[in-house]
Chains A and B, each alone.
Chain A
């Protein structure tokens, strides 16, 4: 017996747009799916963590319990930007580690609809009739578009041009990342989009925020994902089939951004990812070269490029070389985002950090169908939420 925590069951809805369903419909489908996959019921679950950004103050965990089973267990409503799902999993994980639960359920869900640019309404130009200083910078008018941009496309584009200037990445190389992820998604029936784009089509598409064109930016999405976690002691008492399909969580790490000189004006997505990756590799006792697949937070093509380096998938400064060698393609040495990634699979914010665990676990179980990475034994799932939070999980196939 060890103090390991395992994924016993996992499920995700297809990411899509579901205007005729509500958030609870999606969360319940994922929760029931994960429970069924685990071979347990709500009566077995000792704690629930439900992640959502858009309905974080709406008691979503309690509303979900009213549809799947009001067992009276402690429940948490989790919001942590794009790291929301990973944070919900980490709460479930921590309960088991602490010995407070043997079985825990973590659900991530979001219903975003077709909202256009994330935060666009909040950032819209709407100067007051009478200028009065407000906020922590005493601004008298809206600063978006006047003092640079605070919106997500620009934030992640700037992270890319910074890296490109220091280490050399061409506009074509950034676009090659989107070419890969869209191509991967053609094999994934759970992906919101399954359209293959040529490099020329990606480069010629509408520019959103240089160097990212539209196919280099993730869509908004509706969807949910859930995992059932189990303690090692409880798993030992379960069936051979449950033990065989269980996936070990070898590392579960959450970090926030440390102070850097530029972070007060430009969100740092690098330092906290490097720290999380290093902590995760240390905890799991493995290195980046051991990984059979990686699901990382490609909200924009530029983000995927900097995370090759942050997650140590390439030599320091070597992201362009990693791209040119096609190392991240599904037949390369380090397949990255074989699900299609956020760029094509979609990004229902609260669900993303659970769905990437579903993806990695499904490959480690050998159940990924057409997109299966052969003989996958170890995988890594990464998310980043602006503000900032980074979640890294390392999963390993059961040896039983």
Chain B
């Protein structure tokens, strides 16, 4: 089977904005500043209804993690899932990966990480989905 030629590139989720410097973009509550990555009807913290886009930082710190060994059907394992608190605000969950997006097994809480993006899949029409992960800032940490 030959891979389809990539004719279009899209982000894997809509809060990832691609370009020369890919960034995560949150919905920030105008009332209290709470940050959300999903589509909002209102704010869970203050019940406010107005939001503005806020570009998040690309570096952060691992606050919790697990290494999933037994995964859902079809999901390659092991992989490292981490919750990352971003510098400047915002918390996001993603895999811990090498800079090229290949999986890393294990990390430590407190590890400084940075955002990386990589192709995750291509559909039958040549649309490539680009996802994101976090890689330790200093190579070798938490290996």
Contact residues of A with B, CB < 8 Å? 117, 119-131, 133, 136-149, 151, 153-154, 157-159, 161-162, 164-165, 206-211, 259, 261-262, 264-266
Among A120, A121, A138, A207, contact of B69 (Cβ-Cβ < 8 Å): A207
Residues of B within 8 A of A141 (CB): 12, 120-121, 129, 131
B12 & A139 in contact (Cβ 8 Å cutoff) = yes
What are some 21 contacts across the A-B interface (CB < 8 A)? A120-B73, A123-B75, A124-B74, A128-B123, A129-B123, A129-B124, A137-B13, A138-B11, A140-B11, A140-B13, A144-B72, A147-B13, A147-B93, A149-B71, A151-B71, A161-B109, A162-B109, A164-B109, A210-B69, A264-B44, A264-B91
Residues of B within 8 A of A261 (CB): 34-35, 85, 91
The answer for the CA separation of A129 and B129 in the assembled complex, in Å, is: 12
Residues of A within 8 A of B82 (CB): 148
The answer for the CA separation of A145 and B66 in the assembled complex, in Å, is: 12
Residues of A within 8 A of B71 (CB): 144-145, 149, 151
Interface size class of B (residues with CB under 8 A): 35 or more
Residues of B within 8 A of A119 (CB): 72
The answer for the CA separation of A210 and B104 in the assembled complex, in Å, is: 14
The answer for the CA separation of A129 and B109 in the assembled complex, in Å, is: 37
9 interchain residue pairs of minimum CB distance: A138-B14, A125-B74, A165-B109, A148-B81, A157-B66, A162-B64, A145-B75, A123-B72, A259-B45
B66 & A154 in contact (Cβ 8 Å cutoff) = yes
The answer for the CA separation of A208 and B81 in the assembled complex, in Å, is: 13
Chain A minimum-CB-distance residue to B106: A210
Select the residue from A147, A206, A209 with max chain B CB neighbours within 10 A.
A147
B137 interface residue (CB < 8 Å to A): no
Known: A124-B72, A146-B120, A157-B66. A131 touches B127 (CB 8 A): yes
